Structure 1
Amino acid sequence: MGLTGLEIFKQLPKTNCKDCGHPTCLAFAMAMAAGKAGLDQCPHVSEAAKEALGAASAPPVALVKIGTGEKELTLGNETVLFRHDKRFEHPAGIAITLSDTASEDEITARVSQINKLIFDRVGQLHNVNLVAITNDSGDAGKFAAAAKLASENTDYPLILITEDTAAMEKALEAVGGKKPLLCGATASNYEGMTALAKKYEAPLVVKGADLNELAELVEKVTALGHKQLILDSGAREVHKVLADQTQIRRQALKRFRPFGYPTITFVTNDDPVQAVADAAVYICKYAGIVVLQTADPADILPLITLRLNIYTDPQKPIAVESKIYEIGNPGPDAPVYVTTNFSLTYFCVAGDVEASRVPGYILAVDTDGISVLTGWAAGKFTAEKIAEMLKESGIAEKVSHRKVIIPGGVAVLSGKLQELSGWEVLVGPRESAAIPSFLKLRWNV
């Protein structure tokens, strides 16, 4: 269990200096106990207190990084069991396997296929995260060659999957500089695997036959001085994986240190539909990494979409940048639409403007990412803000007219907006789907 606020308070300097941003040391201690403040915010804490409070200030699930460069995958730092208690911090990594029994051409083609798994969702690009090489051949040389070839053809981090310490060492000689994930350490090889992980400063998967063995094995590995770990409960049947994932997260939040690491799961079902369903369960229930055999975009897209939904901050709507957007190739007589910067609202309007076949400009007003009516009710989508954007955005230099179309749901803003901006305000349809018919009836520069 984590320390209480009073236990933390006893270790603090008790000066009430406010340098941490809290009015008193006790208030700061209570914030730390609730996971809302970190020990690094106190500039006067002693080294002894840092050591004593380190575990209390650290998230229950440790931070682990795989790979290097722009594609480095960060996992962990999770603090809650349910997303709406706060949020999930780092999206589950999706890994696609390739076998070292494949030919060089097949490996190159497989990696190319994985590299192309990039999807545009509400204006954001989402992709898979890892390439997993499996030592199906049992040959250390083939495993190393496959890892090297894959590494040369992708920027994604690698997972090296073998329980053969010699094969792992051979592969690391080729790709160890890119800090792949070593998968993995078992009761029979953990000393050798841990030594390799420490040598290459690489994260290590620890696999147990069950949760009891996993906890014991983690303690043995950490005793050897390596703490960049990923947990594998050993389960492969979906109901068992679900139970283990839930138990690991629950115990981690109770500060049971052997389970305070991200997890990895493997989808083994041969039925492609069921495999996607299994992966969806793992994404929903705490998997840090989900390893799949399929690279079919039709299988990956629903998982990417699900992951996006699960790992968005429930307290922070998805927003687009507040600026002028050009749809088509608008000229000086193109219509000007106003909406909010809530992603779903913007993309609905943009799609319907495009469907009208009349190029236009869209001004996405900053409402902190909330919709038209919600923004109006909250005082964030107002005549003043719209008038300010008409003035500051530069839209006046792009069009020869002074007409602006506002959503029909906020027609009440039209009079004041016209007074403040000097633009003629046209009240558009309540739903953006009616934009094409609205333009035929009302738009005439």
Structure 2
Amino acid sequence: MIVMVKITKLSPLEIYKLLPRRSGCRLCGEDSCMAFAIKLLSLQTNLEKCKPLIEDPGFRENYEKLSKLLKPLVKEIEIGVGDRKVVIGGKHVVHRHELMLRNPTAIAIDVSDDLDKDKIIEKVEFINNFKYEYVGYELKLDLIAVRSVTNDPERFKSTLKIVNEYSKRPIIICSIDPEIIHAGLEVLDKERPLIYTATMKNWIKVLELVRRFKVPVTISSLGKINDLISLVKTFRKYGISDLCLDPGTI
């Protein structure tokens, strides 16, 4: 099965036609609606700055159309909360040279639940403090992936509690066992972790957990793209849209 996605390049004029076009308004901070449209297209501003578009019920339909047109091709997904939040996705283009990526790829290192407390703390502190200079950019580790290797829910919960206490990063719950995932979500109920992962074998129970705890989830297909497509459609059917796709890591 081949999935074809048609990508149409948006022009400033298309955006301009949907704006209120009130001469001399300048409530958005720009000299004209066309200038505002150009900045919208280049991600230098946002729709909410156009007060007439937001506040006038007569422009509600236009606002919804513009929101859809300007929506990234790749959905933004938030992992974690508050100061520990990491945002991934949100890509507006396929080719990197066209626009700067607002959300660079997040990097994670895993911590397994077979380590003792001192080793866990040591690894978490390394992740917290890691920095690397690369061509003018300071790279750091963005997430901690806590992996269940013991298949013991209580051991996994204990590891998560330690990581969550000492970490400055959001957490990925790594297991294909719904019981282990559930145990992890009970510990991180308010922390919005990313679940890794839902598969063709566990998706029913994982979907229930995602709906209950309202967290993002990764869908894996072991190299079978048709399975990936099927799972995505199923999760979306149940109102779950914060999906990360893994076509074949595990």
TM-score strictly above 0.5: yes
Once the two structures are superposed, the pairs formed by residues 157-236 of structure 1 within 5 Å of their partners are 157-209=170-222, 210-234=224-248, 236=249
Return the index of the structure with the highest Cα Rg.
Answer: 1
1:42 to 29, 40, 50: 50
| SS of structure 2 residue aligned to 1:177 | coil
CA deviation map 1:61-102 (0-9, x unaligned)? 222221234332222222233443232222222211122233
d(CA) in 2 for partners of 1:229, 1:90: 16
1:23 to 26, 32, 43: 32
Segments of 5+ residues of structure 1 without an aligned counterpart are: 237-265, 267-445
Deviation of 1:164 after TM superposition, in Å, equals 1.6
d(CA) in 1 for partners of 2:170, 2:102: 20
d(CA) in 1 for partners of 2:38, 2:139: 38
Deviation of 1:170 after TM superposition, in Å, equals 1.0
Letter in 1 for 2:70: S
Cα 1:88–1:132 shift into 2, 3 Å: same
Cα 1:12–1:112 shift into 2, 3 Å: closer
Deviation of 1:161 after TM superposition, in Å, equals 0.7
Deviation of 1:10 after TM superposition, in Å, equals 5.0
Percent of residue pairs bearing the same amino acid type? 27
RMSD across aligned C-alpha pairs, in angstroms? 3.1
**Does structure 2 conserve the Cα–Cα contact (< 8 Å) formed by 1:148 and 1:171?**
no
Q: Which moved more, 1:12-21 or 1:116-125?
A: 116-125
d(CA) in 2 for partners of 1:219, 1:114: 35
Once the two structures are superposed, the pairs formed by residues 47-196 of structure 1 within 5 Å of their partners are 47-119=60-132, 126-196=139-209
Cα 1:37–1:115 shift into 2, 3 Å: closer
CA deviation map 1:258-290 (0-9, x unaligned)? xxxxxxxx8xxxxxxxxxxxxxxxxxxxxxxxx
Compare the two structures and name the one with the higher helix fraction. Answer: 1
d(CA) in 2 for partners of 1:116, 1:161: 22
**Does structure 2 conserve the Cα–Cα contact (< 8 Å) formed by 1:145 and 1:171?**
no
Cα 1:30–1:183 shift into 2, 3 Å: same
d(CA) in 2 for partners of 1:127, 1:195: 33
d(CA) in 1 for partners of 2:204, 2:180: 15
Alignment length (residue pairs):
235
Letter in 1 for 2:32: P
d(CA) in 2 for partners of 1:220, 1:212: 12
Letter in 2 for 1:145: S
Deviation of 1:215 after TM superposition, in Å, equals 3.0
Letter in 1 for 2:47: L
Matching of residue 12 in structure 1 with residue 19 in structure 2: yes
Deviation of 1:224 after TM superposition, in Å, equals 1.8
Once the two structures are superposed, the pairs formed by residues 368-387 of structure 1 within 5 Å of their partners are none
Cα 1:194–1:110 shift into 2, 3 Å: same
**Does structure 1 conserve the Cα–Cα contact (< 8 Å) formed by 2:42 and 2:99?**
no
TM-score, normalised via structure 2 length: 0.77
Cα 1:11–1:100 shift into 2, 3 Å: same
**Does structure 2 conserve the Cα–Cα contact (< 8 Å) formed by 1:80 and 1:87?**
no
Letter in 1 for 2:188: V
Letter in 2 for 1:211: I
d(CA) in 2 for partners of 1:40, 1:71: 26
Once the two structures are superposed, the pairs formed by residues 364-403 of structure 1 within 5 Å of their partners are none
Deviation of 1:198 after TM superposition, in Å, equals 3.8
Segments of 5+ residues of structure 2 without an aligned counterpart are: 1-6, 54-58
Cα 1:215–1:16 shift into 2, 3 Å: farther
d(CA) in 2 for partners of 1:174, 1:195: 17
Deviation of 1:140 after TM superposition, in Å, equals 2.1
